[in-house]
Structure formats: C-alpha cells, structure tokens
Chains A and B, each alone.
Chain A
Amino acid sequence: MSEISAEEWTAILLSLRIASIATLIATPLGIAVAWLLARRDFWGKAALDAVIYLPLVLPPVVTGYLLLLTFGRKGLVGGWLADYLGIVFAFRWTGAALACGVMSFPLLVRPIRLSIEAVDRKLEQAASTLGAAPWRVFLTVTLPLALPGILAGMVLGFAKAIGEFGATITFVSNIPGETQTISAAIYSLTQTPDGDIAALRLVIVSIAIAMIALIASEILARRATLRLHGY
C-alpha cells in the first residue's frame, strides 16, 4: 500500500468539511425540531414527524432528485437564493453539505428527541416556580440534561453525512475537489482499471474516521453522564 495521493487527500478533507458543516448547521435546527416534537402539541405535528423521517426511507436518489428540483439553479428555492442572496447549491460543495444535512437529519433528531422526552418535566416545573421563563428553563435545565442525547445525535448525523452517497451524487454530481467525497471517490475508483488499491486506501480511511467518531461519542457521552448525575 503506497501513500495517500493528493487527490485522495482532497476527497478526505472535503468529506470532513462537508460532514462537519452539515452537522453543525443541522444540530440547532435538529434540537428545535426535537423539542417541538417532544414537548409541544400542534396542528400538523404528525406530518412534520413524517417529513423528517422521509429521507430515511426514501431511495436516496429520490431525495437527491427532489433537492435538485428544489435547490437547483432553476429550482423554486434555488433560483431565488441564487438571484437574491448569491447562494448556489447546484454542483457545489455547499449542495453536498445540504444533501448530507437532509439525509442525516432523521438520525440526528431521533436521539435528541428521545433524550428531551426523558428529561423529567417536574424539574422543568420546579425551574418555572423559581422564576425561569420557558426559554431559560430550556437553556438551563432541559438542554444540559439532554446533552448526552444531543452528542449521540451529532455523532450519528456526522457518521451518516460522511458516508452519504446517493442523494449527494444525484444532486451535485461527482466533481473532484468540489463535490467528490470519499464515498464518491471510492465509487469512481472502483469503476477505473487499477483503481482497487486506491479504493482500498480510502475504505480504510473511512473505517478509521467512523471508528474515531464512535469512540469520541462514547467518551463524550460518558463524561456528560458523569457531569450530570455524578456516577
């Protein structure tokens, strides 16, 4: 096994960047949605629940195509964003981050929702009798107590984002240096004669990234539990 080539490094770093940004932007949104689903009753809640989980069960190529129709240069939202805000998703790394964010969203939301549901509402009531407004109850009681679940959701979301393939390649194609993530690079290499060794190197790298993410999440969750419950 020779050394990792410059092109492979590009794909690795791009994947890390796309997955990190997708996770960082999806997390606050995921916390908000998880809180809504866990703590509020409203009209259309069942529909919101279903839409969020849709990317998990739809063929990724369908999600990617829908993203292309919506956020493409000629899409309803994509056209508006490009014309008025100068934000372009189609065939850019930003589009890859969007696809990864959408695809990983259900995996990110679920543990956060479960951990918010597990927070004892009696503690939230106690906080309100001590003068905490609902948003401060959320920030000082609910959020810290749900922290292990939030970290778990972030790691799951990140792991999904880094491995995302179908929706990304459909939406933003497979452009080296712009949208070619590790998965897309492996796919290209397996289609190339003599690409096997390079593909194997990237396979090992992706296994390593996944392992590091899982171990990190385990350590973080254990620390959070220790901090929260003292054991």
Chain B
Amino acid sequence: MLLVDVEKQLGDFRLAVSFTSNGPVTGLFGNSGAGKTSIINMIAGLIAPDRGRIALDGQDLDNTASHLHMPPHKRRIGYVFQDARLFPHLNVRQNLDYGRRMNGLDLDKSADPRAVRLLDIVLLLDRLPAQLAGGDRQRAALGRAPLAKPKLLLLDEPLGALDESRKAEILPYFIRLRDEASVPMVLVSHDANEIRKLATAVVMLKGGKVTAFGGVEILPKASF
C-alpha cells in the first residue's frame, strides 16, 4: 500500500496531491506539466516534500511532521527514468548488475537471464551505453531497475523512447513482472492506452492536483 499526501512548491508550480493505492500498478496519468515526474521523484526520495507524508506498506519514507526524509538509497524503490541514465563507463552487463552489487544481494542465476531474454538484450551485454541506439538503451534501463529487487518500481514514461513494435514486445515483460514478481509499480504516462494495459488503479492529474482517482474506466475513452 502506497500513501502519498504531499505539498511542494517548485518555482511557480504548486504541487498538492493526496492519494493512496493498493493496486499492483498505479497509473499516474496527465499532460506534461501536470506534476507526474515530480511526484515519483518525491516517492523515490530524490526531492523532499515541503509538507506531508509518503509511506509504503505502513513504513514512513517521508514525514515532515517528524522531520523524516529517508535517503533514496535506503528506500529500495527502483526507478526507470525517461532518459535511461545508464552509467556510461559500465557495459550493459555491469549496469544490470549494479543494483545487486549495491544492495549486497546474492547472484540470482534465474532472474538475470530471464530479464535479459525478455528484453532481448543478450547481444548488447558487452557494449557500452554510448554504442547503443536509443531504444536499446531504454530496454537495458528497463532491465536494470527490477534486478535490484525493489519494494516498489517507479516507471517514468518507460516506453516513450520505443517504437510501437518494441512497445508491444516489452509490455508483456511488465505484465509478467506485475503478475509474477509481485513488485508493485507506479507508472507515469500521458498515453491512456499504455496505462489501460498495465494499470489497476489510476490517478488523474492536472496542474499539480488530483482530478480523479479510480479504476482504468476513468481514463478518457477516445485515446489519442
């Protein structure tokens, strides 16, 4: 269960959102500038709220009333960024392994090859990020975050850089991740179709405020 009840002033933009979600996949839906990325940056701990509380499974991650701000590396919250953010000095294999090393996890011989196969990145493992095309880079980033075994996975427009056929190939990977690994996710997207396919609960955002909360049926019918 994820609880978000925060306020944050970012320049002229004021973010004030409150929602709780039990869904395996919570979709944050809204136009650009609605505050979607700022919200998941706060959940990840990359920025601190001015006021409010963020809690995951009953544990406070942020609570301004008790001056609590847990640093990102202690949260065990994975993040797939819009701009891949692979480490340029490490090859794809080392990038995928980074989270396991930092968390002192045992080598999981089954998880790695499965992710590698699902994401179709076997041939990329020994390459450096600079040698990859945009779509390949994003697929490597999609593999990296779940392999750190997070308690929650944040996805910021994860399929944005991929073409339609790649999207169709990778979506099943997320559906399996959702159904088998039982890693709850927060998916940020401006694409109603994407959210409809993956999300079980939807938070609609506009101008830094929640305008609606519910199931996928609240999404606009005629998607663009």
Contacts and interface: CB of A to CB of B under 8 A. Distances in A.
Interface of A: 122-123, 125-134, 136-137, 140-141, 144-145, 227-231
B130 A229 contact: yes
A144 to B, nearest CB: 5
B102 A136 contact: yes
Enumerate the 6 nearest inter-chain pairs by beta-carbon distance, A residue then B residue, closest first. A130-B99, A230-B128, A126-B85, A131-B102, A128-B72, A129-B79
Nearest to B129: A230
Q: For the side of the interface on B, what is the size category?
A: 20 to 34
A229 B88 contact: yes
A1 B76 CA distance: 70
A122 B88 CA distance: 12
A126 to B, nearest CB: 4
B71 A128 contact: yes
Contact of B72 (A122, A129, A140, A144): A129
Contacts of B73: 128-134, 137
B145 interface: yes
B134 to A, nearest CB: 15
Contact of A122 (B45, B85, B127, B144): B85
Interface in B35-73: 44-46, 71-73
B182 interface: no
Contacts of B85: 122-123, 125-126
A228 B73 CA distance: 24
B131 A230 contact: yes
Contact of A130 (B127, B131, B144): B144
B77 to A, nearest CB: 7
B126 to A, nearest CB: 11
A159 to B, nearest CB: 27
A145 B88 contact: yes
Nearest to B44: A129
A131 B99 contact: yes
B83 interface: yes
Contacts of B45: 128
Contacts of B184: none
Contacts of B76: 131
Nearest to A144: B89
B195 interface: no
Given A145-B89, A227-B89, A129 B98 contact: no
B139 to A, nearest CB: 16
